[in-house]
Amino acid sequence: MNLSATYGDRAALQREIRGPQWFASEETTGGRDEHTGLEVEVDATGWPVRVGALTAVAPELRDAAGLRGALERAIGGAVLGHLARNAERRRLSPADLERGRELVEGRRRLVPPPYYRAAPLVAPDGPVQPRSAWRDDRLDRTVTGTSRDGELRIELGYVDGLRRLEADAQFLATAPADLLRHALNEAFTDAQEGGRR
């Protein structure tokens, strides 16, 4: 389903799921696929926003599966960089620091929470009706971005980022690095704008 894909909408949903600490830093973060040299900038919601550098088209990038793998590795590196940046910004309170000192010096012990024994499992003797579970439809939201001439098409999920990539095989087999980078950037931009092309 194509809905508004604004950063604010995605960030609001992810704040509910991941908590506000994920957004301690909202700067874009760069990630690089070491196998192909593909560099991607990713926003705090995990969406790719721009291909930073692509100087040569490695053989892995000449088919859709290889291109998707390279994008996933670059995006994963960017997300790890985002988490590292957030960890650097986190400041412990004086009480947290004191508890840590007490634990290290042996003046405090960790007490495990109480353990409760679960009821024994019993095999049902009749048909089982699944529980009706609450499901947030926003978790399934996706946006599709397409390059201007339709060579590349990406699908991004609101929560899980890159879901699918489709590419024209002939384009991938022959495209020079700047043309591939440009087509990726067009698809990312189209997705950011809600896939309205």
Helical ranges in 55-176 per DSSP H: 64-89, 94-105, 169-174
pLDDT digits (tens, 9 = 90+) for 107-151: 988 888 888 888 888 888 888 876 665 567 777 889 999 999 999
- For residue 5, is pLDDT > 90? no
The domain ranges of the chain are 7-89+137-192
Q: Classify residue 94 as exposed, middle or buried by CB count within 10 Å of its CB (0-12, 13-18, 19+).
A: exposed
Q: Of 1-15, 42-56, 57-71, which gets the smallest average pLDDT? A: 1-15
Q: Give the model's pLDDT for residue 53.
A: 81
- Residue 1's pLDDT band (boundaries 50, 70, 90)? very low
- For residue 50, is pLDDT > 90? yes
- For residue 193, is pLDDT > 80? yes
- For residue 59, is pLDDT > 60? yes
Q: Give the model's pLDDT for residue 79.
A: 93
CATH level 2 (architecture), domain 7-89+137-192: 2-Layer Sandwich (3.30)
Closest Cα to residue 68, out of 152, 159, 165? 165
Mean pLDDT of the chain: 88
Q: Is the distance from CB of 75 to CB of 38 less than 8 angstroms?
A: no
Residue that has been written with the tokens 């929560």 in this structure: 159
- Between 193 and 186, where is the model more confident? 186
Q: Classify residue 190 as exposed, middle or buried by CB count within 10 Å of its CB (0-12, 13-18, 19+).
A: buried
- Between 159 and 88, where is the model more confident? 159
Pairing state of beta strands 142-146 and 152-157?
Answer: antiparallel
Q: Give the model's pLDDT for residue 3.
A: 45
- Residue 55 identity: T
Backbone angles phi, psi at 156, to 5 degrees: -115, 135
What predicted TM-score, i.e. pTM, was given to this entire model?
0.76
Q: Of 9-18, 34-43, 140-149, 160-169, which gets the smallest average pLDDT? A: 9-18
Cα 38 to Cα 22: distance, rounded to the nearest angstrom: 25
- For residue 49, is pLDDT > 70? yes
- Residue 194's pLDDT band (boundaries 50, 70, 90)? confident
Q: Give the model's pLDDT for residue 115.
A: 82
Mean pLDDT across 90-117: 85
